[in-house]
Each structure stands twice: as structure tokens, then as C-alpha cells.
A and B are shown apart, each in its own frame.
Chain A
């Protein structure tokens, strides 16, 4: 890749210490995102998409521990940076939007004030100018009648409107990187399309790097430049979007594509994936966490997983890949 990565994550491992055992939530996760690029992270529920985002943002649950790896943003390793350095980075350099915007917003502060707060704290905007700039931000994210809406509280707005406000807050300080964790789950498809357009425009217009987390493969296909597929805490494949769909190499990726209903002509054409994610608390997890579900398993599969470097054009973690 010719463009310098905005974010380079290498061998990120995360564990949660719980009463019922240690959850090995992420193991040696590696990927990169370039300036102006959108990387989608896809996978089934529990595959580790959110934990990856939280680890990079430094907002893991107290039970969670980064047990290895680096996440380089510019010259800074986000995983070993001090709390003070990280709270500077969050908001100014990396911003995150969440699935449930209403819960992430402050319910007792008007949305205009919330945007103004970020502008003052992270955006070097003088206090006096902030309210006016907040109204401009609302206009920029497509909210009609923004000066009136700035005075509204989150409960007075629809889900789609709240998500736009979240986006306005996230981009207020012009971050170089945006992490969007299921930003449109629960919204109508028509609203989803508008919100996703907005995110795409922001990243192409400002050169912002975007990590877009979703369980919807069709949406990832439509919106991402590259896709990383996660399964049980591993990135099992990562490639350019078209390449991934046309030539999936990991058997799990191929199955996921075959299970996605948007292109099928009838229900029987859809493939189901046998088995479920393994319990990540197990002490005898095999090196390939898909091997117990995999129809292509061979004896080699008990060896440590082959991993191509994070910067490889088409990365696959499998001993017996397709084609």
C-alpha cells in the first residue's frame, strides 16, 4: 500500500477476567487503515468487533486487559499511552460513534451545547464563537432548521436525528480517524442510507480514516474500501471489498457471503453455517477457532495459525484456504 497508514494495529490481544474464567476476546488482531480509507470490520455477534474498537480507543471495561500488541496512530502507541495522553487523543484525533445515539448523548443538555462543548475543549474554538459554530455543524450533518434544533434535547429528536448529532459531535474537532460501531443498526433503511452517505462524504472530503463496524455484509460491501472479517476474536481475512466478495479465501468468509440474503434468488439458495462460536473461556481453544466448524479441516490445522503481515493486500489466516 502506498499511502501511509493512519492507524496500524498489530497483534492486539485482549482478555477479560471474569468469575467464570478468562475470556480470550481478541488474539493477535492486526489491521491497518489508511488516510481517507474506510475499513469495515464484519463478523457475527461476539466475534470481537466492539472490543477491538474499545481497546483502540482506550475505553475497555475495567475487567478487560490488553495483553499484547501495538496500535500506532502517528508516532503514538495508543495501547501504551498514558490516560492523560489518551484523553487528549480521544475527541481530537480519534472520535467514535455508537449504536445507540440516544444513550450516548447527555439527556439534560441541549444538542447545540453538547457540540459547543467539544468545539471548546478539543477544537480550539473560542467560547463566544462555539454556539454559532455548533449550529453550522448541525447544518453540515443535514439537520433542517439547525438554529432551532440546536436548542432541542435528545429526547425531542428521532433516532436518525440523534445519530446525526452524534456525528456532528464526533467530527467537531476534525479528527483524523472515526470509529463507527454499528452506527445505523436499528434505524430505517432510508435513514441508514442518508447517515452512511454523510459518513462517506466526511471521510472522502476531509481525508479522515474510518473504521466502520457492522454485522451487515451487504452494507459493508457497499460502503467500505476494504473489509476485515472477524471470527471468535481473530481477524481471519482482510482484503479489498471487491476482491473479498469475488475471491473469498477463508471458508468462513465464503459461508458468510453465501448466507447473506440480498443476492439470493430464493431461500434454498442461502447456505447456513453449522455450529456456533466457541466459548472463549475455554482453556483448550484450538489455534484456529473456526476449525471445529470447518468442513475443510486438515491435520495441519492444529499448528499455530499462519498469518500474513497486517499490510498484506489479501490477508488470510487459514492452512487450507480456498483456491
Chain B
């Protein structure tokens, strides 16, 4: 596998509470205290993973676990606190986010958002929506621009007669196609999809997922597919990354992870997925709320307190991701009964 995206030891912390002004900072320093420590939310904490060329990787976990922050760091909308993001040979974490908008590599990473109706300018026709990144990032004009827009629309199954319509004149499925066409038009290497089908009915969802599958085969693009819907991730993704409170707790081939989850959090997640196969309803439930993400104890497993296992070792040492064949899990007890 050729590595396309290599994320290493990536962290993003946000200060919370009242910011301390420069005078107060100076006063405290004169009083002889150390540097002022503000509380921080550890949104993404020491995360490492790779995405191969042409690979589809799913990113799952509950809301607030850091998926969106991770995505925003990778797409360079925000600057990470620490760590590296390499796209091919290029280190992207060193380019400040406000400069990245005009960077030559900007076109290589594109995003598709949840509700294309909301992320597309309501005053843009479909044509303008698809043309916009081509104008900005590829400097296309005139005939070349029109040809490229029409090609992208055609690839995404958007009939040419819809190119003159505004978002409110399109169905949800057609808007999703515009969102995807806009992203693939600039020929990116990596497409980051944030819940692209969450707002769609099942009948339309199927068509969009099949479109994504076909595009990936035709164009060889890599996908990072962020979703709540594990049934969909299982069908579309080669590998899956499971996050819990800022940390990766499990990584592995999607089918294997869902059939035989290693980490207790993944086990609870999989048990909670509704299934029309009503033969065996599993009753593994996650009770309580996740622990606070503000300055969590670095020596306590983030899942401690909610984990059905949770013993003293879990609050004495943070489990690290360990490898089990082609899979990884961050739990002290993974592998003991599997005999891996």
C-alpha cells in the first residue's frame, strides 16, 4: 500500500474558560508563579494513522469524541497543537491554516459536507457551485471551465439540465450529487466526507453510496468517511478507525471490527446498532456520560468509569494502541481471551 496521508502524534487542545489578559499574565509572573495554566479541552489527543492511496477509511465514534476536530485539522481549516500531517511527501501541519486556502496543495484535499443544501451558496446555480473551486484552485475559465464542470456533473450522475438550477430547486439526492461533483471536479487525492448521507432517505442514500463506490474505483481517490451510521461504514469502508474522547481506541478492517470488536467501547458501539435481524437483541449498554474532556488525567483510560471491565490498572496506566495481526486496540485486556 502506498501511503497517501500520514498523520502522526496529532493533538489539538482548545483553551476553555476566561482567557487571561497580558497585564494579568505579567502580574502573575512578577509574583513569581510559573506560566499560567489555562484549562484545555483535549479534543484530539496523540492520534496517529495512515490512509493508503485509493483506500476508504471510516471514522466513527460518538458526538464530541473529536472526529470533527480531527477532520478540520487534516483539511487544514484549523492548526493542530502538535504533531504532523503528511500528504505524500509534503508536511502540511507547518502551513498555517489561513495560508492553506491559497496553497498549491489545497485542491488535493476536498470535503463533502452533511447537508449539501446548507453548504452550497443558495445564490449559486449547480453550475456555479461546481465551477467555484475550479476557478479558485485550478484557475480555469471559459470553455475549459465549462467542459470540466460538465464532466464532473456527468461523473456524478447529475443531468446537464439541472446545472442551471438553484439548491432549493433540487431534491436532497440531487444536492448531494452537486456537493460530490464540486469536490471531485478539482481531482483531489483525498476526499473527506462528513456524514454525507445523514440527511437523506434510505432510498436516496443507497444511490449516493453506490455513486461514491463507483467514483472511488474510477478515479482512485482515497476517502476518509466520517459517519454515525456503522451499517453504512461497514459497507463502504476498507478500514475503520474508532475514536473515544480524543483518542483512537481501535483500528482494523471494517468487516472484522464490526463482526468481532476488540475494544470494549467498540463492542458497546456495535451492540447498539439497530438491526432488522431481530433474532438476538444484545443488551450491552453504555451507561453514564463520558468523562470530562478538560485536562483529563493522562494516566487514566478515557473509557474508565463507563467501561464494563474497568479495574485498578485502568486508572493507573493509559492503555496504548497495541497491534494484533492486522488490527489494533488500546485496552489492557485485549487479546487475553482471544489468545492473539
Contact = CB atoms under 8 A, between A and B. Distances in A.
Interface of A: 44-45, 142, 144, 158-161, 188-194, 197, 215-219, 221-223, 241-242, 245, 255-257, 259-264, 266-268, 270-273, 276
B49 to A, nearest CB: 22
A262 B228 contact: no
B234 to A, nearest CB: 8
B223 to A, nearest CB: 13
Contacts of B229: 261
Given A44-B201, A191-B62, A272-B207, A264 B235 contact: yes
Interface string B47-68: 0000000000000001100000
Nearest to A188: B62
8 contacts: A44-B201, A45-B201, A193-B285, A194-B286, A218-B275, A262-B276, A264-B235, A276-B171
B193 to A, nearest CB: 15
B278 A221 contact: yes
Interface string B200-244: 011111110110010000000000000011111011100000000
Contacts of B281: 222
B268 A190 contact: yes
A262 B287 contact: no
A151 B134 CA distance: 53
Query: How would you classify the secondary structure of chain A's contact residues: helix, strand, loop or mixed?
Result: helix
Contacts of B231: 218, 261-262
A215 B286 contact: no
A269 to B, nearest CB: 9
B339 to A, nearest CB: 28
Contacts of A218: 231, 274-276
A33 B201 CA distance: 26
Given A190-B272, A197-B285, A267 B210 contact: yes
Given A44-B201, A188-B62, A262-B231, A257 B288 contact: no
Given A218-B231, A270-B210, A194 B274 contact: no
A263 B275 contact: yes
B289 interface: yes
Contacts, number: 113
A216 B62 CA distance: 18
Nearest 8 CB-CB pairs, A to B? A221-B276, A273-B203, A193-B272, A188-B62, A219-B274, A44-B201, A189-B272, A218-B274
A193 B271 contact: yes
B147 interface: no
B118 interface: no
A263 B275 CA distance: 7
A143 to B, nearest CB: 10
Given A44-B202, A259-B202, A261-B232, A190 B274 contact: no
Nearest to A222: B274
A189 B228 contact: yes
Contacts of B201: 44-45, 215
Contacts of A189: 62, 228, 230, 269, 272-274
Nearest to A160: B289
B206 A259 contact: yes
A272 B273 contact: no
B213 to A, nearest CB: 5
Contacts of A215: 201-202
Contacts of B204: 272
B239 to A, nearest CB: 16
A260 B230 contact: no
A168 to B, nearest CB: 17
Given A189-B272, A262-B276, A270-B209, A217 B202 contact: yes
A144, A190, A197, A218 pick with most chain B CB within 10 angstroms = A190
B336 interface: no
Contacts of B236: 267
B277 interface: yes
